[in-house]
């Protein structure tokens, strides 16, 4: 029974797939089946997708999850009505999502349900607290690394990452890409005092003084950095970007003469949409990056089979990953 005991030390866990068909659902269902007999109260939901209409949301690949008796789950009205189990409604939220009000319920029989929850980091954090109020020892979030969702799985204390042949059919590419994400997850955090301050900052680009004072640079997004270059370093080289950072931004940074003094702070690793090549070269030139929120990676699960039939050698793959990644690696099929 790998990693189950470790999971139980945390109050919240996200399970995140690097790509579709990397075995996230298999992994999730494995975790749930193992927790079934643990006497712990488990709650589950996934990060909701906001701002899209109904059809698009229902067509996104939200898998049905096998929920067992006694478990808590959260899902919007529309999906709640499609559940294939008996459940007791505990709460109906006042806030609305694209799919209706969020329902918190307790399964009365075992069965399948599609879950979808809060969309923003703030509401995800509040949600985890609320589940604790309803008695949950562990809240599991079915997460995604997608630019579409504002909510980040990094708000959970711990994380399991799934990867596999669907990400790349070349073993070395797969290892390279997975290692890159692993490196991002392990980016160092800023000091606690500064982190608390930055958690509340939801928009903009900020300069941070040596005394941890925040100065609004009045740049809405670094996506348009080309036009606002001169503004960026007006107050120093320690910069907090509340939104996503991209290749063009890092390209710009690594070409600056003071690159070795530059420290970029992002909310969490999911905000980094920079290709590994650019990212590593930024570091090589002396650039520093830190995050506000970090999650503990418990394990990496791999699915050596891709949906188009490509098969990697499971043992070889695990061995190759183990050389780069310092957490346990499992094949989902052998869980």
Partner 1 sequence: MQLKKALTQLNGLQFMIENLDLKSAMGKRFLVETPWFVSKKVIETELNLIEKTLENLETKSAFISKIQTRLSQLRDISGSIKNIGNKLILDDIQLFEVKHFAMVVQEIIKLQKEHQLQLIEISGLEEVVKILDPDKTNIPSFYIYDSYSEELSIIRKELKIHKSKKFISEEEGNKELDLLFLQSEKLESTIREQLCNQLVKYHKNLEKAFESVAHLDVIIAKAIQAKQLGLSKPSIAKGLTIYKKMFNPQIKEHLQLQQKEYQSIDIQLYKSLCFITGANMAGKTVLLKTVALCQYLFQFGFYIPAENAEICLVDKLLLLVGDLQSEENGLSSFASEMLKVNEMVAEVLKNDNVFVLIDELARTTNPIEGKAIVNAVATIFNENNVRSLITTHYSGLNAQCRKLRVKGLLDSISTKNINAKNVNDFIDYSLVEDNVGDAPQEALRICELLGIHEEIVNKAQIELKK
Minimum CB separation of residue 210 from partner 1 in Å reads 35
Site for partner 1 in 83-102 (CB under 8 A): 84, 86-92, 94, 101
Choose which of 108, 213, 229, 333 interacts with partner 1 (CB under 8 A): 108
d(CA 86, CA 234): 60
Minimum CB separation of residue 282 from partner 1 in Å reads 49
CB closer to partner 1, 53 vs 94 = 94
d(CA 159, CA 14): 5
Question: What's the distance, Cα to Cα, between the start and end of the chain in Å?
Answer: 8
54 binds partner 1 (CB under 8 A): no
Minimum CB separation of residue 84 from partner 1 in Å reads 6
69 binds partner 1 (CB under 8 A): yes
CB closer to partner 1, 115 vs 198 = 115
126 binds partner 1 (CB under 8 A): no
Choose which of 80, 180, 269, 279 interacts with partner 1 (CB under 8 A): 80
Choose which of 111, 236, 243, 276 interacts with partner 1 (CB under 8 A): 111
Minimum CB separation of residue 326 from partner 1 in Å reads 38
Q: Which stretch binds partner 1 (CB under 8 A): 81-89, 254-262, 268-276, 296-304?
A: 81-89
110 binds partner 1 (CB under 8 A): yes
Give the number of C-alpha atoms closer than 13 A to the C-alpha of residue 118, restricted to the C-beta side. 24
| Structural tokens at position 13 | 């866990």
Minimum CB separation of residue 122 from partner 1 in Å reads 19
Q: Which long-range contacts (CB under 8 A, 24 or more apart) does 76-83 make?
A: 76/48, 76/100, 76/101, 76/102, 76/103, 76/116, 77/101, 77/103, 78/54, 79/113, 79/114, 79/115, 79/116, 80/105, 80/113, 82/113, 82/114, 83/111, 83/112, 83/113, 83/114
d(CA 267, CA 183): 15
CB closer to partner 1, 88 vs 218 = 88
Place of tokens 């003094």: 261
Residue 314 burial (C-beta neighbours within 10 Å; 0-12, 13-18, 19+)? middle
Minimum CB separation of residue 37 from partner 1 in Å reads 13
Q: How many residues bind partner 1 (CB under 8 A)?
A: 20
Q: Is 43 helix (H, G, I), strand (E, B) or coil?
A: strand
Minimum CB separation of residue 220 from partner 1 in Å reads 30
Minimum CB separation of residue 173 from partner 1 in Å reads 37
33 binds partner 1 (CB under 8 A): no
> In this structure, how many other beta carbons lie within 10 angstroms of the beta carbon of residue 298?
21
d(CA 3, CA 225): 43
Choose which of 7, 15, 23, 106 interacts with partner 1 (CB under 8 A): 106
φ, ψ for residue 240, nearest 5 deg? -105, 125
CB closer to partner 1, 32 vs 90 = 90
Task: Tell me which residues touch partner 1 (CB under 8 A).
Answer: 69, 77, 80-81, 84, 86-92, 94, 101, 103, 106, 108-111
């Amino acid at each position: 029974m790998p990693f189950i005991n470790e999971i139980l030390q945390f109050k919240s866990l996200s399970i995140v797939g690097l790509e579709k068909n990397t075995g996230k659902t298999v992994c999730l269902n494995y975790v749930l089946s193992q927790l079934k007999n643990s006497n712990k109260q488990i709650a589950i939901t996934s990060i909701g997708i906001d701002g899209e209409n109904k059809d698009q949301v229902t067509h996104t690949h939200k898998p049905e999850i096998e929920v067992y008796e006694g478990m808590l789950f959260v899902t919007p009205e529309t999906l709640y009505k499609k559940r294939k189990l008996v459940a007791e409604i505990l709460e109906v939220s006042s806030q609305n999502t694209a799919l209706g009000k969020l329902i918190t319920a307790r399964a009365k029989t075992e069965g399948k349900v599609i879950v979808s929850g809060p969309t923003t980091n703030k509401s995800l954090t509040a949600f985890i607290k609320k589940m604790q109020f309803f008695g949950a020892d562990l809240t599991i979030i079915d997460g995604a690394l997608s630019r579409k969702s504002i909510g980040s799985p990094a708000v959970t204390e711990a994380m399991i990452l799934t990867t596999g042949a669907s990400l790349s059919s070349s073993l070395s590419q797969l290892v390279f890409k997975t290692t890159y994400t692993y490196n991002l997850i392990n980016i160092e955090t800023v000091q606690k005092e500064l982190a608390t301050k930055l958690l509340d900052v939801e928009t903009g680009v900020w300069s941070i003084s040596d005394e941890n004072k925040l100065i609004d640079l009045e740049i809405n997004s670094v996506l348009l950095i080309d036009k606002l270059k001169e503004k960026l370093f007006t107050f120093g080289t320690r910069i907090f970007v509340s939104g996503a950072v991209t290749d063009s931004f890092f390209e710009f940074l690594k070409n600056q003469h003071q690159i070795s003094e530059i420290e970029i702070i992002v909310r969490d690793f999911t905000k980094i949409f920079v290709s590994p090549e650019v990212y590593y070269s930024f570091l090589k030139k002396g650039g520093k990056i830190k995050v506000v929120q970090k999650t503990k990676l418990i394990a990496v699960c791999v699915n050596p089979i891709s949906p188009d039939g490509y098969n990697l050698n499971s043992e070889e793959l695990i061995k190759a990953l183990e050389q780069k990644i310092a957490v346990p690696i499992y094949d989902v099929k052998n869980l």
